[in-house]
């Protein structure tokens, strides 16, 4: 027994002091292993695999963050580049659309450009800035620049004329499928249908006069007032049902109108005119903003709205044109009524009137004789 204990004691001593460990082709003593302890391998006898995986994961995350940082830096660099570009664009827009006043020196005196006639400098329009030939001419209209600009302008107009010619050609070929608006909205010449426009306008005004009445203001411009009085009779003759009233600036204006009416108008015409009211009222002049005469105000009877449609000498065709413009502006105009071919077959006796006016022939009787 003693012999066995001695052997064990000897072995333990050798193990603690002299026994060497071979691990991964490395020879280390216990003391060396103790000095090289790590979380991963412990005392060289144990390798913690979970800790190793965690360390790899941490390293991978570090690499990922590094890549993200690189991408972020690239994005930031690109944003800085785009910001500079946008700042340049903003400066260009400000200079063309919202230019800031510039200071220039004229006759030894500093002033803000084009703030007065004394501080004048020929401005360059956006069009001129984009056309060097025009810009050079506007800056210095010497003969060389002028000739160069005229040559460019001639070429430009030539191209414009070509496009302008294309418009009526397309309307002629395709009619209202190409352009559902009247190409001659109002006027008195129409080679496509003899006297067509006159009939269109007359019908148009008959419909308009059912919805509108008119106020004629007189008294601020004696000469034109007197000249326009005759036109009043023409207006009533052409449109017997027109509602026309008169407002005078003072008693003198009213007296002059009535005296002229006695001389120029027949009893029947005076009766028609007297159906409309006659008022002396400075207040109404102010209410309707009348600054000259004669002036005509169109009153929408249903909507109770009013618009001044004519100032200066009263002329029937001008009145008709202004009513057309008013309804067009208000979006109440039916364009189809003014497209030529849509009205040719209306009962206006184009054929009869054409031959009678041009040749003095009653075409109907002529055709009957031939039959």
- Pair 297, 346 in one domain: yes
φ, ψ at 248 (rounded to 5°): -110, 150
The beta-strand segments (E) located in 189-330 are: 212-218, 244-248, 278-280, 295-300, 305-311
Q: Is residue 113 part of a domain?
A: no
- Pair 152, 216 in one domain: no
Asked if residue 231 has pLDDT above 80, the reply is yes
- Pair 258, 309 in one domain: yes
**Residue 80 pLDDT class (50, 70, 90 cuts):** confident
- Pair 311, 259 in one domain: yes
- Pair 201, 149 in one domain: no
Among the candidates 115, 149, 179, a domain finishes at: 179
pLDDT tens, residue by residue, 340-351:
666 665 555 667
- Pair 240, 167 in one domain: no
pLDDT of residue 38: 53
- Pair 157, 203 in one domain: no
Q: Is residue 261 part of a domain?
A: yes
Q: Is residue 108 part of a domain?
A: no
pLDDT of residue 184: 55
Return the bridge partners of 247, or none.
Answer: 217, 279
Alpha-carbon gap, residue 355 to 353, rounded angstroms: 6
Q: Is residue 91 part of a domain?
A: no
Q: Is residue 140 part of a domain?
A: yes
Higher per-residue confidence, 47 vs 163: 163
- Pair 205, 335 in one domain: yes
- Pair 310, 213 in one domain: yes
- Pair 139, 232 in one domain: no
Among 20-34, 39-53, 152-166, name the most confident range: 152-166
Q: Is residue 28 part of a domain?
A: yes
Could you tell me which of 118, 101, 122, 99 has the C-alpha nearest to residue 109? Answer: 118
Q: Is residue 106 part of a domain?
A: no
Alpha-carbon gap, residue 198 to 348, rounded angstroms: 10
Q: Is residue 332 part of a domain?
A: yes
pLDDT tens, residue by residue, 329-342:
888 888 777 776 66
**Residue 94 pLDDT class (50, 70, 90 cuts):** confident
**Residue 61 pLDDT class (50, 70, 90 cuts):** low
pLDDT of residue 196: 60
The number of distinct structural domains making up the chain is: 3
- Pair 152, 257 in one domain: no
Alpha-carbon gap, residue 28 to 44, rounded angstroms: 9
| Range 48-62 average pLDDT | 60
pLDDT of residue 337: 76
pTM of the model: 0.54
**Residue 193 pLDDT class (50, 70, 90 cuts):** very low
Give the C-alpha distances (Å, rounded to integers) separating 243 from 139, 199, 277, 334. 58, 21, 10, 23
Higher per-residue confidence, 240 vs 285: 285
- Pair 145, 263 in one domain: no
pLDDT of residue 299: 96
CATH classification of the domain holding 335: 3.40.30.10
Its domain, for residue 41, covers: 21-80
């Amino acid at each position: 027994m003693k012999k066995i204990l001695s052997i064990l004691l000897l072995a333990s001593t050798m193990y603690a002091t002299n026994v060497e460990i071979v691990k991964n082709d490395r020879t280390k003593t216990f003391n060396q292993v103790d000095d090289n302890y790590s979380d991963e391998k412990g005392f060289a006898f144990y390798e913690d695999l979970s800790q190793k995986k965690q360390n790899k994961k941490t390293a991978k995350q570090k690499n990922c963050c590094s890549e993200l940082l690189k991408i972020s830096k690239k994005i930031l660099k690109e944003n800085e580049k785009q910001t500079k570009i946008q700042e340049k664009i903003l400066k260009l827009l400000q200079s063309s659309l919202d230019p800031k006043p510039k200071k220039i020196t004229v006759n030894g005196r500093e002033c803000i450009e084009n703030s007065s006639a004394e501080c004048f400098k020929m401005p360059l329009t956006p069009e001129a800035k984009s056309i060097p030939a025009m810009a050079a001419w506007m800056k210095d209209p010497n003969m060389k620049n002028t000739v160069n600009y005229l040559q460019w302008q001639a070429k430009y107009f030539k191209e414009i004329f070509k496009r302008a010619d294309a418009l009526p050609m397309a309307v002629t070929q395709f009619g209202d499928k190409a352009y559902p608006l009247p190409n001659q909205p109002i006027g008195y010449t129409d080679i496509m249908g003899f006297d067509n426009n006159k009939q269109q306008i007359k019908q148009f005004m008959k419909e308009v006069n059912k919805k509108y009445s008119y106020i004629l203001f007189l008294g601020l411009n004696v000469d034109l007032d007197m000249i326009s009085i005759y036109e009043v009779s023409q207006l009533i003759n052409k449109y017997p049902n027109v509602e026309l009233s008169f407002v005078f600036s003072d008693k003198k204006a009213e007296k002059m109108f009535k005296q002229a009416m006695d001389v120029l108008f027949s009893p029947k015409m005076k009766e028609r005119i007297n159906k409309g009211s006659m008022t002396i009222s400075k207040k109404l002049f102010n209410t309707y903003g009348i600054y000259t005469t004669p002036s005509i105000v169109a009153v929408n009877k249903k909507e109770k709205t009013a618009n001044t449609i004519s100032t200066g000498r009263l002329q029937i065709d001008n009145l008709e044109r202004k009513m057309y413009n008013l309804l067009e502006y208000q979006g109440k105009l039916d364009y189809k009524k003014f497209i030529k071919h849509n009205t040719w077959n209306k009962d206006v006796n184009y054929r009869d009137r054409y031959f009678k006016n041009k040749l003095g022939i009653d075409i109907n009787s002529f055709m009957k004789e031939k039959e």
